[in-house]
Amino acid sequence: MNFIEKFTYFFLKVLSVSLENISLSNQVSFSQNLASIFYHYIPKRKKLAKHNIKIAFPNKSEKWIDDTLCETYKFFVFNFIQFLALPSSMDNIKINIVGKKIMDNALKKNKGVILISAHFGSWEVLGHWFGINGYKLHGVAHEQNNKGSNEFFQYKRELSGIKHIYKKVGLENLYKVLTGKNILGLVSDQDAKSKGIFIKFFNKPASTPKGVGLFHLNTKAPMVYGLCIQTGFQKYKIEFIKVKPKKETIESITQDYTNILENYINEYPEQYFWFHNRWKTAPEQ
């Protein structure tokens, strides 16, 4: 690591220790003040996020869109503070699990499980729950350019027992996760450029990764959609949904689980990470 990367790791480590040692009320206060600063004074990707919300909710008022975006800032900044304060930040939360049998029954098929998720809700709580409950989850992630932050985030996430696996290790190693009867976690809600498949997301074509469909069709591993929703202060709901596409095709599979995500966003719009350029790639005319 170069100097900047080492400094990044050191800064995140110090911040993490500091947050672990302050009260929950102070964590909340710090996160809300920080969210306000980002919302009002740091405009990076703010226009993009607002534009995305308008695409998803074209009939909503300007005030509703602004309020939703403001709540989105608050939600994700607090979740990031909780992540930095792991594992102590998980001590006093309450989690309601819905559909646990779906995940357990899928594992009993001994083909591994493809866990599909998104940049929605408290995904760090979801990963932590898998780890502390003994599930062998291998989450596929993009390696960050800054090696310091990448090493820190991997260290934090693996505290619970889950594993990071990077795309650069090669497809054969990703398939080994499934042949080893483990859970392969795929976050499949970002723009996939020209390599993706176009499906409807809020009634607009969106290039979406093909990975879920390809892994399923090549291995017959069952697919489960998993999300963690914040339902109140320190209260969460982890929900598992069986993915049952109408056809065994990549398009049908991708559309099916995207529809699941869309339904949750409609109910909890402030818990979706609107800052990705989700509709960046347009289909060829």
Q: Helices (H) and strands (E) in the chain — how many of each?
A: 10, 9
**Could you give the CA distance from residue 86 to residue 91 in angstroms, rounded to a whole number?**
9
Burial 21-48 (b: 16+ CB within 10 A, else e): eeebeebbebbeebbeebbeeeeeebee
Residue 285 pLDDT class (50, 70, 90 cuts): low
Cis omega before residue 222 (within 30°)?
no
Measured distance between the N- and C-terminal CA atoms of the chain, rounded to whole angstroms: 45
Give per-residue pLDDT as tens, 38-47.
999 998 899 9
**Could you give the CA distance from residue 239 to residue 110 in angstroms, rounded to a whole number?**
22
86-98: average pLDDT = 93
Residue 153 pLDDT class (50, 70, 90 cuts): very high
What does pTM read for this prediction?
Answer: 0.95
Write down the pLDDT at residue 95. Answer: 97
Where are the domains positioned within the chain?
A: 3-271
**Could you give the CA distance from residue 54 to residue 60 in angstroms, rounded to a whole number?**
8
Give per-residue pLDDT as tens, 219-255.
999 999 999 999 999 999 999 999 999 999 999 999 9
